[in-house]
Chains A and B, each alone.
Chain A
Amino acid sequence: MDSAEVSTAVNEPLDLVKLSLSERVFIKLRGDRTVQGVLHAYDAHMNLILSDVEETITLVDVGDDGAVSNVRSVARNMEMLFVRGDAVIMVRPLLLYLCISNIMTKISSCFAQISPIR
């Protein structure tokens, strides 16, 4: 990969996912499941490949009256995982610098606005 080709701008939703390649991400899935792992690949369907994965499944007991009780979670680890895109609800980068760079952009744009005043 040429470094010139690597853009860090976020112009569309999938750019955020692109910036998370080889970084740890948190993913919310259908069926009360979440996974955390290092993102290695994705496509337009949101099919994903993750490594060093921890999956958490949230289980609840639902009574006859619909009352929810005994909420608990089970976790398991998987070394390399393909996740089918159908199940993906949300992808969240866990890396701090993305958030920081976001704030920095805002701060610098503030400065850009006030600098002409002198």
Chain B
Amino acid sequence: MGTLKSVDQFLNIRLDNIKVSDPDRFPHMMAIKNCFIRGSVVRYVQMPTGAVDTQLLEDATRREAKDNKK
């Protein structure tokens, strides 16, 4: 968990002020504050609903699907 600072073309992620969700099970990253995560190791990104405009996403997806067909 942390603040998403940037994402690049490979979906590599920069997270700042991170917190490990289950520190008892994973104490391996206790001393880390900011981190870079390789896109290829990501399974999910969870985010707050309020930060996402779903209508915008759906319209953009339909537009992209249409453009890809041409």
- In Å, the complex CA distance between A87 and B41 comes to 10
**CB of B31 within 8 Å of the partner chain:** no
CA distance A85 to B49 in the complex (A): 20
B57 lies within 8 A of A41 (CB): yes
Check: B25 CB closer than 8 A to any chain A CB: no
Across the interface, which residues of A come within 8 angstroms of B3, CB to CB? none
- Give the total of B residues in contact with A, Cβ under 8 Å: 24
B60 near A87 with CB under 8 A, answer no
Partner of B49, one of A6, A15, A80, A84: A80
Interchain nearest-CB distance for B31 vs A (Å): 27
* B40 near A51: Cβ-Cβ < 8 Å: no
A79 touches B61 (CB 8 A): no
1/0 per residue B44-61: CB within 8 Å of A? Answer: 111111011010011111
Q: Say whether, besides A14-B65, A22-B54, A82 and B45 are in contact (CB < 8 Å).
A: yes
- Min C-beta distance of A97 to chain B, whole Å: 18
Is residue A44 contacting chain B, with contact meaning CB distance below 8 A?
Answer: yes
Q: Is B43 an interface residue (CB 8 A)?
A: yes
Pairs A-B, 9 closest by C-beta atoms: A82-B45, A41-B57, A40-B54, A40-B57, A41-B61, A79-B49, A80-B49, A21-B58, A80-B47
Chain B residues in the interface with A (C-beta under 8 A): 11, 39-40, 42-49, 51-52, 54, 57-62, 64-66, 68
